[in-house]
Amino acid sequence: MLKIGDIEMKNPVVLAPMAGVCNSAFRLTVKEFGAGLVCAEMVSDKAILNNNKRTLDMLYMDEREKPLSLQIFGGEKSTLVEAAKYVDENTNADIIDINMGCPVPKITKVDAGAKWLLDPNKIHEMVYAVAQNVSKPVTVKMRLGWDDDHIYVVDNAKAVEAAGGKAVAVHGRTRYQMYEGKSDWSWIKEVKNQVSIPVIGNGDVETPQDAKRMLDETGCDGVMIGRAALGNPWMIYRTVKYLESGVLMPEPEAREKIDVCLLHLDRLIDLKNEHVAVMEMRKHAAWYLKGLKGTALVRNQINEVSTRTQMVEVLTTYVNEVEGKMKATQAL
């Protein structure tokens, strides 16, 4: 069973910390589908220390989400440590995670995220400083390296362990790959062979079978699911069940998808306000509709709504039409 420090998960399935997605409304929904651990989207150390309201709001968590990992990023030791201390003392998060994988230029240009991957010594220095100043377990999420010529993932993972990090999540792509190309799981296996702390594998886990294959091929302790869970918390549920029993649960029907989508919407409204929530929910609704038939029109309609009532009407009308057609077909 996956255990990070003294925090024990009920299963090895972990929701990845996706920026712009993993707020409390989404995390709680995924948690209810069985995730062993959910991770909050990354927040800036400096924004925490500057008391940025939007950032501090992102630190909110519902007790039902626990255990939860809260991720911070930054490029300077002093501010990263102070932000970690703030999270340690002022949030209910169980784990403090340090981002070493974000590949976007606005993060790397401030010596944060994936920029750390070029210097194992800096990784040790920064992780050690954080771990010495907080009571919660400290973990790191990293990529293989900056590019194919600079893959230091084994040395970097060893640095995390030596510095007191309690686990490392490895995304099997380089910074140069961004989110394209193939995730190389062989490096995840190599990291697992070289460190004694838990290793969580990440990258190209699109089905429950992929999750089992990653665990089997790499020997990793946990499997992290990101984009495959967007609009699809059933991916988490189906993966947990498949790992437990080998039984592949069926995909959800349209009605079930829409019901959960609307639950997600209402949680987002409670978390933010109706206008902001509906604007954000447009992309989520499109993800929930993925894989369903005849969604071209409803996708266009979703991008025009601005109120909860409109969103509910569009999605309810769609699913009623889907079910009506199914009944008509069955009656023939």
The answer to whether 102 is a known catalytic residue is yes
From 22, 39, 102, 261, the catalytic residue = 102
12 preceded by cis ω (within 30°)? no
Distance CA 215, CA 13 (A): 10
Please tell me the distance from the alpha carbon of residue 108 to that of residue 104, in angstroms, as a whole number.
Answer: 6
Nearest to 178 by CA among 151, 214, 146: 146
Identify the residue whose tokens are 């302790």: 221
Paired tokens of 203? 């990258």
Eight-class DSSP state of 63 = G
CA atoms of 214 and 92, how far apart (whole Å) = 31
Which token pair is 99? 């981002």
Q: Which of 263, 257, 213, 217 is nearest to 239 (CA)?
A: 213
Q: In this structure, which amino acid lies at residue 116? A: W
- d(CA 56, CA 42) in angstroms, rounded, equals 12
DSSP bridge pairs for 7: 4
Contact status, residue 231 vs residue 261, Cβ threshold 8 Å:
yes
Pairing of strands 13-15, 68-73: unpaired
Q: What is the DSSP string of 78-94?
A: HHHHHHHHHHHHH---S
SS3 for 155-194 is HHHHHHHHCCCCEEEEECCCCCCCCCCCCCHHHHHHHHHH
Active site residues: 102
